[in-house]
Structure formats: structure tokens, C-alpha cells
Chains A and B, each alone.
Chain A
Amino acid sequence: MYLAELLAGALAIGCVYSLVALGFAMIMRATSIIHFAQGELLMLGSMSGLSTLWLLPKLPAVAVLICGMVASGILAVAMEFLVYRPLRLRRVALMNVITATVGMSILCINAARLLWGSEPLRYPELFSTSAYRIAGVPVSPQLVWIMAFGVVLMGLLQLFLKRTRTGLVMQAVAQDAEVAQLMGANLTRMMLYTFAIAGMMAGAAGVMFGSLFFSFFEMGFLLGIKGFVAATLGGLGSLAGAMLGGILFGLIETFSAVYVSSAYKDAIGMVLLIAILLFLPSGLVGLWKARG
């Protein structure tokens, strides 16, 4: 029973990482930027979701999730439009763009502290507290819903990217911006879409994480890094890899916390990260491709 609960927890947190990693991977593919403010988008989504709940306590969980996504999506678009796009237009060196994203991250963290204070904030119960029984095993509804949300969101993203015209153009831009532009793609708009989607994914992850634990102005930092590790694990810049990497990282972290050492659970992730970078530079997806 304990194992089932643990597995559900690992998969749920894995979904959170996957969503953050997806955002990282999308931005990295389209712009080569390591977007350090990705974790802060998550935090702001989490905070926005919570604030809507304070205003409308009866709101269903799905609506809260959408509020968080919309808020982070808008913020991400604002970042792209006000900061990153001007940087690109001025052809600023990549290092400087990355530093600017750190500045953005500092700005967001401190704005959040002014708005929401520096105490961790608890989410009200979004889901029923009585356990679901899945195949006779009791599992907390919260975890089930989070996994469901995560899977649905990732599925929708895949559908969007593979089946809609806009999605296909975005893929093309990510693969080769120049050629895509020659074929008539509007780069500026595609970048905005990329950031909007990356923001929405982070916002959803924020609401999901907040409902599991709490919301906190500094939460984005470590979650952002873990999302990044997950993206690397899967293979930097690969979307399927990001999703896989997130789930895998959730599993590794949860189980190593229990069976190895809870103090060093983050360390295990980092050792894994370095090992993968060294010995499997294109991540798990690279391994898959090399064999296939």
C-alpha cells in the first residue's frame, strides 16, 4: 500500500517536473536561451491560482488550474515582448541574454515577496480528502487528479504541435528558423506562442505543486532547476525527452529520498545530471535514437 502511495506521489511530482521541463525545452529549442525565470513563472502561476481561490473560494480545481495557466502565460508573453525580443533585436550575445533572464528571475521573486509576503502559503483543499481506491489500493485523490491534469495537458500540447498548422509552424521554426522564415513563418509571433505555451505549462505546474505542498515566493528557484535537470535528462531541447525526463526525475528523487537518504535526495539528481551530461550527452532520447 505504502509503495503505491509513494509511486503515485513520484508520478505526480514527476508531472510537475515534466511541465516545467517542457517549457525549458521549448524555449531552448526556439531561442537557445536557458530561461532562468522559468521557475518564477511556475511560482507566479501558483500564487495567481491561490489568489483566485481567495477571491472565489468555490472555484473548481480545473478553473484554478486554468487561472494559473493564463496568468503565467500572460506573464511569459510580457517577458518575451518587453525584454527578450528587444534583446534579440539588438543582437545581444547569448550570455547577456541568459544573464537578463536571471535579472528577470530576481525581479519576479522580489515582486512576489512584496505582493504575497515571505511566508509559505497553504492552498485550500482542492480535491476531496477521502481516498480513491484504485484496484483495491487507496490513493489520495489529489495525486490522481494531478497526474490526470499533467497527462491531459501534455497530450493537448502534443496534439497542438502535431495536428494544428500553428503547431507545425512552431516546430519548423524551432528546427531551422531561417528556412521557416523563408517559407513564410512569422518568427515574432511564433516566439510569442512559444513563450505563451512555456508559461502556461509552468503555471499549471505551479498550481499543481501548490495544491500538493504550498506556495512560496522562492519556490520557483529549486523547482526551476529540477525542471531543467529533467529537461537535460531527457535530452536538451527534445520535447518528448523533457516529458520523459520529468517523470523519471520524479521517480528517482522520490525513491532515493526514501531508500537512500532524504538529506541527499537533491544530490542524487545532480550526480545523475552530471553523469548523463558526460556519458549520454543527448539524454535518454539520444540513447533511443542511437539504438533505433
Chain B
Amino acid sequence: MPEALLEAAGLSRRFGGLAAVDAVDLRVERGAIHGLIGPNGAGKTTLLNLIAGALAVTRGTVSFRGADITRWDAARRAQAGIRRTFQNLKLFAEMSALENASIGLHAGTHAGIFAALARTPAQRAEEERIFARARRALEFVGLGGDAGVAAGKLPYGHRRLLEIARAFVAEPALILLDEPAAGLNQTEAANLSRLIGRIRDAGCTVVLVEHHMDVVMSVCDQVTVLNYGRKLAEGRPAEIQRDAQVIEAYLGRGDAPPSKHALA
């Protein structure tokens, strides 16, 4: 069995009386693209937030590279190599695309206040490295031409890509993508699928929350289906598409079933 990069055991999160995520076990293998799907409100984003440390866990544990990180805060997890994008785009709107990407390198770099005041050679070299890497990340996602544009002024599709660049720039071990295809057209979504593949090829493991079934089915190695906060099914994309329970969950909710052509 391949090595697990991330493991969640009995993970639960309650909001008041409602269990948004209920005793979910999840195992993400190193080097995989792991899809998380499910009808609206199934707890996908909550689960992602629990892995990223944006929400506190009610019960259960999360371990990453064998270490228990359940009590770590978001910044510490980011530092350890778990990066994410946000479904509803949380960019630094007034900063240029290049600066946005450079923030992604904050955790791995060191120059502090005094180094900045003194402009030490080490600080200046680090600044150059930061911007060179940030520029490479922009080029990687295809935003090389937008480096100087304020994030808030970018077209929507480019903002989605910038989110990815900011998460990818530090080449983290695990990258959590929260509905990266939302609002993209067919061509953009196809490009995104290729980008996700390239991110994996660059050595990052990917957890992908997505409604866009074309994207999920074409890139994922493994898919976990959530429903009402619980794990409903797990398997390879082809198995999931045939799973009666999964189809039932989608149809029962009036959502489109996860067929190859459905766009939820």
C-alpha cells in the first residue's frame, strides 16, 4: 500500500447541533490527486477547512507525514507544507499578482524587521529569490503577463489561477483546491485539469473539492464522496460513477448525478 501523506481519523465538526462533518476517515496517498465530491452542503469545504486548520476539530485527529497536527493552527500547517485555495477567492486585492504570489513564500523565508531595515545582503538576496520564484509560479499557472496587475483588477478566471499560484509557489507537499473550476467555462476548465496534473507532476499531492465532474473524473486518482457530512463512497473515478448509492444521493437531492457530462 502506498504511503499516506495525510490521514484523518473519525474527523467531526459540529456547528451547534448540526454535524457538518461526521466521523470521516480519509487517507490521501502521497503523489495522488484525491477528489472530494458530494451534493451541496455535504461538508466538503468544512472538511477542507479542518485539514487546513481554518476550523477547529470537534472530534477526531488529522495527521500529516505521520505527525499529529490536529491542534496546529492554520499558519503552522501552511508552514509544514499544507497550502490551500479558497472557493470564494481570498486574494490581496490591492497587491499586484506578483506580490500575491510572493506572500505564498512568507513561511519558507526568514528576513525579519531588522534585516529589512539594514537591507543586509542576505535580505536582498532573499528578496530576489522570492520574486524570482513568485514569477516562476505565475508563469507556471499561465499568468506570466499579469505580474504587475493588481489582483482586484484581474479578470475572474485569472484570479482563480492566481489563487492556485499563491498556494503552489512554495511547492508544498499537499495542496488543497477548493472548487477551483467554479465559474470557469469549458476551455478554462480543461486548462485547469491540465494544470492540476502538472501540479501533481511537480511533486505536490492534491486534494480537490469540485462540482465540475469533467475535471474530477479526468484528473483524480481517487475520489471520496461525502453526503450529509458522512463518507458515502470511496474509490477510483470509474467505480464512483457506477456506485448506486452515489447516484441516489445526487438524484435524491435534485442535483445532477456525477456522470461524465454533468455540470453541477
- Direct chain A–B contact by Cβ atoms under 8 Å: no
Q: Which residues of B contact A (CB under 8 A)?
A: none
